[in-house]
Chain A
Amino acid sequence: MADHEIRTIRLDENEDFSNTQSYGQRIVTPVRFSTDPRDIGWVRENIPCQTACPADTNVPAYIRTIMEERYGRSYELNRLANVLPGVLGRICSRPCEAACRHGWPGNGAPVAICHLKRAAGDHKQIGHRITEDLYTPTGKRVAIVGAGPAGLAAAHDLTTLGHDVTIFEKEDRPGGMLSYGIPEFRLPRDLLELEIHNTIRLGVDLKTGVSIGSGENDVKITDLLRDYDAVLLTTGCAAAIPLPLRNIGRDDDVSLSVDNVENGLDFLMELHRGEEKQVGKRVAVVGAGFTALDCARVAKRLGADDVAIHIRTTEEYIPVTKDEIHEAKREGVIIHGLRTPVELLSDDEGRFRGVKFVQNRLGGWRSGGRRQAIPIEGSEFDEPCDTLLIAIGQKTVTDILDVQVDLDRWGNVRLGQDGMTSIPGLFSAGDFVNGASTVVEAVGHARKLSVRMDTWLMGRERRKKVVKISSVDEPLRQRSFDFIPRQEMPTEPLSERINTDNKEVETGYDQTLALEEAKRCYLCYHKYEIDIDNCIYCRACIEVAPRDCIKMVDGVEIKGDGTYGSLHEASEWDKVGAIWVDNNECIRCGACFKVCPTKCISITRNEIFYQDL
């Protein structure tokens, strides 16, 4: 570090240094905390994986610690954002990977962020120390209804914030859909139980087998509102949406009236409650989500010969991970696209014998990047099968409420700005508010809601969001890392899957694979900046840049919220006002840093952090 000047700003986590930027010399500050909207905006726009994660997971940080072989620390960094890293490392819907810069056109495949999350959990040491930021007890009592992912996440966060939390769960085991909706071959129950235990061991009082409702033996919401300072509803979406068919009423559920036709969600929940389930030799599954895939794969394990999933659009648009589709297909599940069920078929004796479908074509776009399916008139055809599993979606059940709360047009609970329902002291989080979503969305929403609940309970905000900016001495990546292919998840051979009960299919990265995959991460939380007062415009950085990531500009747009917008590239040399690193294009290879003769390029690590108020 002797070849450039370093100034160290004193370290104080509660001081705001956002206005102390200066230029004219290469300044490397060990750490500072900023509330400047440009810095917060930079993180939001330049770390796409973290922005896409509903739980706001600091993805680059935990991948970087895997590179350092600090698996325990990596697990803890995950746990700061969600309390179930091992679980989500297996069954997350991975919005982060869809956003990953490495997956952008021309950059290759996205980093296997989810597999790395799992690797952190798998390779941390036995007896690993869990860290919790505990606040002093507040004396406030909170009741949570539902021990699914949202309820568990909220229970953990509210407990660390000092509140006394009691969870009421109607099933015998906590976990909600994690315990009852997801097959063990995707989510081992010993791991789930361990992470749930870690979530509630801080003093959460878990009461299972307690039914909330308005019946005689039920615990009533009004009782909870009376006995607790606040109540949080996290009962999720536990009711299957009935299959709409010709000639039946909108709310009629054929699974109740036709033998061998079942709702997929009920099928899975009954199976995981310990009931013996059976399917025919030919199984048809309608639906396009994780539940549909799980039903199909379970059907294979229950002995079905032919299992087909029938979807309205095409594989490209179904909201499940490519890995899940791949594994289902390997197990022999067939996916048929562009078809919608219109009738159930029965034989002369009235027994179910198949489904009549209509052929579709793709129509316009729906929200969430999905497509419309337009039925083609006169294109009906019959598909014989012995069992039909319906997995077209789930909805909330509000009849557990003995109080009148405002609902939105989809029947979900409506929340105010403070996260509260229309009943004072009654909050809600997860799928009960948002409709059927994913585990990570439920965890993320519950986490945010916990903060709002805390604010309401305490009468003030207790934390603020800042950007922690730390100096980085040198690039942590090598250009060769950009050419490492995505490491595939090792899996059990087929012979070990179908004929053996519930063996986990994905076996996880070993440390070699984890390290190799971790190298692929661009570490987007690294910000490369050029000190234009020291820059001699030699263009050396531009020459070595592997992408169009360093630009000569005559200005930078500042958006209304104070964040940086697009760059105005200069077309003529005499108009150049600065050389600017386009962090959107930058793949953090460090080539510019290494070649700069005046050391005017600096690297900082930018992370969202919460400071006490």
Chain B
Amino acid sequence: MTEHYVIIGNGVAGNEAACHLRQRDPESRITIITAGRLLFYSRYELPRLFHEDCDWRDFLVNPVEYYVENRINVRRNSFVTHVDAQRKSINLAHKESISYSQLLVASGGATNLPAELSDFAPLLNRFNLYTAACQVRDILPKKGKVVMLGGDVLGLDLARNLINEGYQVILVATEQTFWPHRVDPDERKLLLGALTDMGVEVIENAKIETIQEGAPGMSARHILFDDGCEIFADVVMPFFGLLPAADFMMGSGVDFERGLLVGTNLRTTDPSIWAAGDVCQIWSPEENQYRFYYGWQNVKKMGEIAARNMTGDDIHWETATDHKMYIDENRQIVSPYWEHD
């Protein structure tokens, strides 16, 4: 009987898995389900929007023909609401049910917004999707001022691009700065110094009291700190890392903590359900705990491992992988998590 592989998520892990599944099981049905409207595009390339005249086509990783040739059915604008592991089916928000032989959850991570900032969410601009990135590009005036809250590696990548294009960047540093790198206090000091050298204005030990809309004719955002200081900005962006986007797995019977709990073979506690990418916590025998692993290369590798194991292999994730952020000879900070194909 023809296998039907369903992949929830249209990112690096999901597409890598689809590619390997097609190679290893040419007769199978493969369906990718994504909440987005676009085919797989490179989020890592989104900062190009600030220095190139480009649109969504320029970010696509694979052309449309690739999906046709490889018979990979991409269901876009489809929101998964529930996974029924017993019936081996998933429910979509528009009341459709799709059956699977094996399911790969690769739905990635959503922007983490700390609770104390949730009231200000409508005043914050994200950079996690193409549409969100375009919105930032459109509202940010030339040489405008961007305030970054947190400053994870995705934010810092954007920061260095913006600086190069002549924008002003203010970083309000928090404990999530440099996420997901684990940096000790000495390293942190050096890295923040390097950021300053790069032209980023760094604010440390400041607690945000409120974020307001700017007065007409003034900067669009006004941030007040608890020590009475204030800054004005054109855009305020949160970069506090990612949270697994897999609420739809609640109640499915699959073990879930912050992410889907998987073994080093990336199989969940349900034999027909696998997980890869930012959504899964992989058991680390070395550290005796479940861990997340991020970055294009890691996530891509996970997609391959999941696909191979779904089709009969028994290969395992090397869980000891940890990447360090460093400062290069030009005093530029570099993160291995920025590397991508």
Contacts and interface: CB of A to CB of B under 8 A. Distances in A.
B115 A331 contact: yes
B255 A378 contact: no
B78 to A, nearest CB: 14
Contacts of B93: 108
Interface in A321-351: 329-333, 337-338
Contacts of A105: 82, 84, 91, 97
B116 A494 contact: yes
B298 interface: no
Given A337-B257, A338-B257, A359-B289, A330 B118 contact: yes
A379 interface: yes
B82 A329 contact: no
A338 B290 contact: yes
6 contacts: A105-B91, A106-B81, A332-B114, A362-B255, A362-B261, A546-B95
Contacts of A329: 115
B103 to A, nearest CB: 15
Interface string A486-505: 00000001110000000000
Contacts of A315: 257
A493 B209 CA distance: 13
Contact of B116 (A314, A332, A361, A378): A332
Contact of B81 (A108, A330, A361): A108
A361 B257 CA distance: 10
A26 to B, nearest CB: 31
Interface residues of A, number: 23
A331 B289 CA distance: 27
Contacts of A338: 257, 290
B119 A495 contact: yes
A315 B114 CA distance: 18
Nearest to B210: A495
Interface residues of B, number: 25
Contacts of A376: 288-289
A316 interface: yes
Contacts of B97: 105-106
Interface string A299-333: 00000000000000011100000000000011111
Interface string B112-125: 00111011000000
Interface of A: 105-106, 108, 314-316, 329-333, 337-338, 359, 361-362, 376, 378-379, 493-495, 546
A359 B288 contact: yes
Contacts of A332: 114-116
Interface of B: 81-82, 84, 91, 93, 95, 97, 114-116, 118-119, 210, 250-251, 255-258, 261, 269, 283, 288-290
B91 A106 contact: yes
Contact of B258 (A331, A337, A359): A337
Nearest to A106: B91
A314 B289 contact: no
Given A108-B81, A330-B115, A494-B118, 18 more contacts: A105-B84, A105-B97, A106-B81, A106-B91, A314-B255, A314-B257, A315-B257, A316-B256, A330-B118, A332-B115, A332-B116, A337-B257, A338-B257, A338-B290, A362-B255, A362-B269, A376-B289, A495-B210
Contacts of B251: 316
Contacts of B114: 332
A493 B289 contact: no
Contacts of A108: 81, 93
A144 to B, nearest CB: 39
B115 A494 contact: yes
A337 B256 CA distance: 10
A235 to B, nearest CB: 36
A178 B84 CA distance: 38
A359 B287 CA distance: 10
A493 B82 CA distance: 30
A281 to B, nearest CB: 14
B119 A493 contact: yes
Contacts of B261: 361-362
A359 to B, nearest CB: 5
Nearest to A334: B115
